[in-house]
Structure 1
């Protein structure tokens, strides 16, 4: 059968994959939600959900530090990767020897297409469709802020780095009613204290990942943005685009109302 990934690459696989390696934490969790316990044989060291898989499945390195030798030992018939989270050179090397399905996600619609695509290639079409329906229902019930609030979403410290406009996080902010003050910048730009101070930001969200922001960092940023409301948020909810999206709307509602 012929399948198309989100780079518009065609992948031929005749039988349901029996040995899957996932190089993307949020998609590892998706594979679990689709009931692929026996089929998934390898994950990354950042694939922390579900905890049982994190403890028991073979780890093939990090998302950007893949150990090809371990993957070779696992003899996968399908590898799940992502354009942003994995290095292009690593993925291209794997493509020479294995079937690799690559996602490319910036929007919620991209996430829906990814879930459906992985559901198709793993022969879990109905489970994937049910999951998408559940996620759509959750977002349909989300009540965003009545007026857009100028907001900055921080992912890193030293240097300060924020989510720009062509990210999945950016759309999650929009759906909540937050106006990303750095939405005109690409990807994850570094910003200076002066840029922060002049941004007009009234709300700051400090993500739990990839940098583990804590309470102690709030005061540090409050000195730069004395009038802004600053809070810690769960980065997985804003950036994981697999089955974690079933939990995201309720979490977003709590952030909106907090």
Structure 2
């Protein structure tokens, strides 16, 4: 089986689960597992379609949010099978991971996926719920809106997204509105925009929490550690 992955989370999941050599190509953003030695085929939004075709993959794995429909159509037109995932909740993530791994040759559901589900089931009820803004970019400022995987994870940890009912999934919101909106907390992940203590918290009067973007937005082996990592970053122990 020869697989090209256009999604960092899926790259990590497939390479972590299946023997070396299954993943033959991945994007420049696929940083895990560390030291993964495969052909690099550009970004998630601008993959090199001819380079992917030249790798002769049996399957390309993609995501409806991270990858562009025209690129996926071009791959299909070249005769390549493309599996497209949709991940907007934790249950969707685990179901789609199982589907992808089986399509890539896994004979059974991996133990790490069961352990990830168990870790989230074991999350204690939050002592209190807080309202938060979750920026994912600045210049322009963009935040997590409706129907997102990150929003679902945070809700399970007692963090309610102020923009969960917005018409857009990642709306652009002026900084003065973000600072003025009623909230208890600003959650700042270190990806896709790399927010740091000097690049984000200074813009808001509300308390801020810097969190691992990989544990908030990736749906691979990191899911098992995500509840503990995120709870500590959010001040929940």
Q: Same fold (TM over 0.5)?
A: yes
CA distance in 2 between counterparts of 1:193 and 1:29 reads 34
**Aligned residue in 2 for 1:135:** 116
- Please tell me whether the aligned partners of residues 154 and 160 of structure 1 are also in contact (alpha carbons under 8 angstroms): yes
Instruction: Select the residue among 109, 124, 149 that pairs with 2:91.
Output: 109
Instruction: Select the residue among 165, 168, 175 that pairs with 2:149.
Output: 168
CA distance in 2 between counterparts of 1:144 and 1:254 reads 15
CA distance in 2 between counterparts of 1:144 and 1:193 reads 32
- Please tell me whether the aligned partners of residues 211 and 230 of structure 2 are also in contact (alpha carbons under 8 angstroms): no
Instruction: Select the residue among 17, 39, 44 that pairs with 1:58.
Output: 39
* Alignment RMSD (CA, Å): 1.5
Q: Secondary structure at the match of 2:134?
A: strand
- Please tell me whether the aligned partners of residues 41 and 52 of structure 2 are also in contact (alpha carbons under 8 angstroms): yes
- Please tell me whether the aligned partners of residues 218 and 231 of structure 1 are also in contact (alpha carbons under 8 angstroms): no
**Aligned residue in 2 for 1:242:** 220
Deviation at 1:132, TM superposition (A): 2.6
Instruction: Select the residue among 12, 26, 31 that pairs with 1:29.
Output: 12
- Please tell me whether the aligned partners of residues 116 and 125 of structure 1 are also in contact (alpha carbons under 8 angstroms): no
CA distance in 1 between counterparts of 2:8 and 2:177 reads 32
Instruction: Select the residue among 46, 53, 56 that pairs with 1:75.
Output: 56
Which of 115-124 and 101-110 deviates more? 115-124
- Please tell me whether the aligned partners of residues 43 and 60 of structure 1 are also in contact (alpha carbons under 8 angstroms): yes
CA distance in 2 between counterparts of 1:152 and 1:144 reads 21
**Aligned residue in 2 for 1:43:** 26
- Please tell me whether the aligned partners of residues 60 and 67 of structure 1 are also in contact (alpha carbons under 8 angstroms): yes
Deviation at 1:24, TM superposition (A): 0.4
Instruction: Select the residue among 102, 124, 129 that pairs with 1:120.
Output: 102
Deviation at 1:199, TM superposition (A): 1.7
CA distance in 1 between counterparts of 2:129 and 2:149 reads 18
Deviation at 1:144, TM superposition (A): 4.5
Deviation at 1:219, TM superposition (A): 4.5
Tell me the TM-score normalized by structure 1: 0.86
CA distance in 2 between counterparts of 1:37 and 1:126 reads 17
Q: Secondary structure at the match of 2:18?
A: coil
Deviation at 1:19, TM superposition (A): 1.1
**Aligned residue in 2 for 1:181:** 162
Change (3 A) 1:202 1:40: same
After the TM superposition, list the runs of 4 or more consecutive aligned residues in structure 1 that deviate by more than 6 angstroms. Answer: none
